[in-house]
């Protein structure tokens, strides 16, 4: 007789679903995650950890079973109910589709899409083994959706994207909602969207981390190599003088100044960085691989890489530093380094004075490309199909 590991499921549900509601908690207690992770010990399968299930030849992750706590939070954002029709972009192992199917029940419909045939076949087999034979798993680019099964009441995306496919709204009903991890000028944010006339308004935003999508929605984010060790990450194409930045960073800082704000790395990543991305269109991230001390004591450091956030314009940049690991300072490089550093320090202090919000109060609204966006403090990020308005209420 095969063990069902009910106690492990119960423990997982109790640890990750306190705020997700009874439907999500019930799904976590009922769906056997270990059946979607063949070859993984059940004790590991029921930990609150993401588990990579496919890598490319260079070892980079291509697919995974997401962290259960993040899955629970996203399903709570999705606001599922029995009888709903749900489209999932990113089938992965099939576990998330099984959780959704458990909630919507036999009167609902779950259609899941993945771009790799081997993942699709594995997900189908694992769903069948877990008793969810009626989940539809399709092999195609998720940007195309599944028009043959439309309309849908809900759409959930389980890979990171930088744009919204125009096919999705056409396949969603008038009262539909969607939950999408989007990268819009800062860290990846999981945004719950609902229709608001001709655009999609965000009703909740939370930080997240996902493997980036492959295919038509692969995104506009740019990684600009400055040196062999330094890479500048931008949310989209921008007029940057890479050679000038490399020269500026090799020279002493034009200015260094304290901000009188103390913050540990997690607060910088999930609080200050989203604040910058919603307030400053010049926001950037700079990463040093195999750190050789080129960055001035950045707030994020490990043996493999170090990273900082800041503002960039042309061949000048200002970066956050953390000289004593807790108290933030700014350093400016290049001809406009002084003014950029002053602007960055002002943003740090504004974030601190506002109570150090993370994603609380942050909005990411989505408009069709080329449409007008209400004027408000924040930033507008243009992608091929969507204009994202990032702002604070």
Of the chain, the percentage scoring pLDDT greater than 90 comes to: 62
pTM to 2 decimals? Answer: 0.78
Which of 332, 265, 329 is CA-nearest to residue 299?
265
Residue 391: its pLDDT value, please?
A: 85
pLDDT at 150 over 80: yes
Degrees to nearest 5, angle at CA 284 with 282 and 285: 170
For residues 168-180, average pLDDT? 96
CA distance 65 to 311: 34
For residues 198-204, average pLDDT? 93
Q: Is 66 designated active site?
A: yes
**How does pLDDT run across 356-373, given as a tens digit for each residue?**
988 778 899 999 999 999
Q: In the predicted model, what is the mean pLDDT of the chain?
A: 89
List alpha helices for 237-303, DSSP H. 242-250, 265-267, 273-279
CA distance 50 to 47: 9
Residue identified by tokens 């499921």 is 9
Phi/psi of residue 137, each to 5°?
A: -120, 120
Give the model's confidence band at 261: pLDDT under 50 very low, under 70 low, under 90 confident, else very high.
very high
Residue 350: its pLDDT value, please?
A: 95
Q: Which residue has the higher pLDDT, 153 or 250?
A: 153
CB proximity list for 41: less than 8 A, separation 6 or greater: none
**How does pLDDT run across 27-67, given as a tens digit for each residue?**
999 999 999 999 999 999 999 998 988 888 867 677 888 89
Region 6-207: CATH code: 3.40.50.150
CA distance 298 to 18: 35
For residues 325-330, average pLDDT? 87
Residue 88, CB-side half-sphere exposure with 13 Å CA sphere: 30
pLDDT at 291 over 70: no
Residue 231: its pLDDT value, please?
A: 86
Per-domain boundaries in the chain: 6-207, 222-353
pLDDT at 314 over 70: yes
CA distance 374 to 370: 13
Residue 61: its pLDDT value, please?
A: 79
pLDDT at 227 over 80: yes
Give the model's confidence band at 171: pLDDT under 50 very low, under 70 low, under 90 confident, else very high.
very high
Q: Which of 63, 64, 65, 66 is catalytic?
A: 66
List alpha helices for the chain, DSSP H. 6-16, 22-30, 42-45, 68-78, 95-104, 117-129, 167-170, 242-250, 265-267, 273-279, 337-353
pLDDT at 345 over 60: yes
Which of 383, 260, 255 is CA-nearest to residue 319?
255
Residue 1: its pLDDT value, please?
A: 33
Provide the pairing of β-strand 222-225 with 255-262: unpaired
DSSP per residue, 308-341: EEEEEEBTEEEEEE-TTSSEEEEEEESTTHHHHH
For 380, other C-beta atoms within 10 Å of its C-beta total 18
For residues 179-197, average pLDDT? 88
């Amino acid at each position: 007789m095969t063990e069902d590991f009910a106690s492990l499921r119960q423990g997982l549900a109790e640890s990750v679903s306190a705020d997700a509601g009874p439907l999500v908690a019930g799904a976590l207690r009922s769906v056997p995650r270990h059946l979607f992770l063949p070859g993984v010990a059940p004790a590991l399968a029921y930990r609150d950890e993401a588990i990579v299930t496919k890598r490319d030849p260079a070892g980079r992750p291509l697919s995974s079973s997401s962290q259960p706590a993040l899955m629970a939070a996203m399903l709570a954002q999705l606001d599922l109910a029995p009888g709903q029709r749900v489209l999932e972009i990113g089938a992965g192992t099939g576990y998330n589709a099984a959780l959704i199917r458990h909630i919507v029940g036999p009167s609902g419909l779950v259609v899941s899409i993945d771009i790799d045939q081997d993942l699709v076949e594995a997900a189908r087999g694992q769903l069948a083994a877990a008793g969810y034979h009626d989940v539809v798993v399709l092999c195609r680019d998720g940007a195309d959706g599944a028009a043959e099964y439309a309309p849908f009441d809900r759409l959930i995306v389980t890979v990171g994207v930088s744009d919204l496919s125009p096919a999705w709204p056409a396949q969603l009903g008038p009262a539909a909602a969607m939950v999408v991890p989007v990268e819009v000028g800062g860290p990846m944010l999981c945004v719950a969207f609902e229709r608001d006339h001709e655009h999609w308004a965000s009703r909740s935003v939370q930080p997240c981390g996902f493997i980036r999508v492959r295919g038509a929605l692969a995104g506009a984010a740019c990684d600009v190599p400055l040196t062999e060790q330094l890479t500048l990450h931008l949310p989209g194409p921008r007029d940057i003088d890479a050679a000038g930045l490399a020269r500026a960073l090799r020279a002493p800082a034009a200015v260094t100044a304290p901000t009188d704000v103390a913050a540990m790395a997690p607060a910088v990543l999930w609080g200050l960085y989203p604040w910058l991305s919603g307030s400053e269109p010049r926001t950037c991230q700079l990463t040093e691989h195999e750190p050789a001390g080129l960055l001035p004591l950045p707030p994020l450091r490990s043996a493999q890489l170090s990273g900082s956030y800041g503002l960039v314009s042309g061949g000048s940049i200002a970066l956050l530093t953390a000289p004593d690991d807790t108290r933030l300072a700014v350093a400016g490089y290049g001809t406009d380094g002084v003014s950029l550093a002053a602007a960055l320090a002002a943003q740090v202090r504004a974030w601190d004075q506002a109570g150090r919000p993370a994603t609380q109060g942050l909005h990411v609204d989505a408009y069709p490309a080329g449409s007008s966006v209400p004027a408000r403090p924040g930033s507008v990020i243009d992608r091929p199909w969507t204009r994202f308005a990032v702002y604070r209420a």
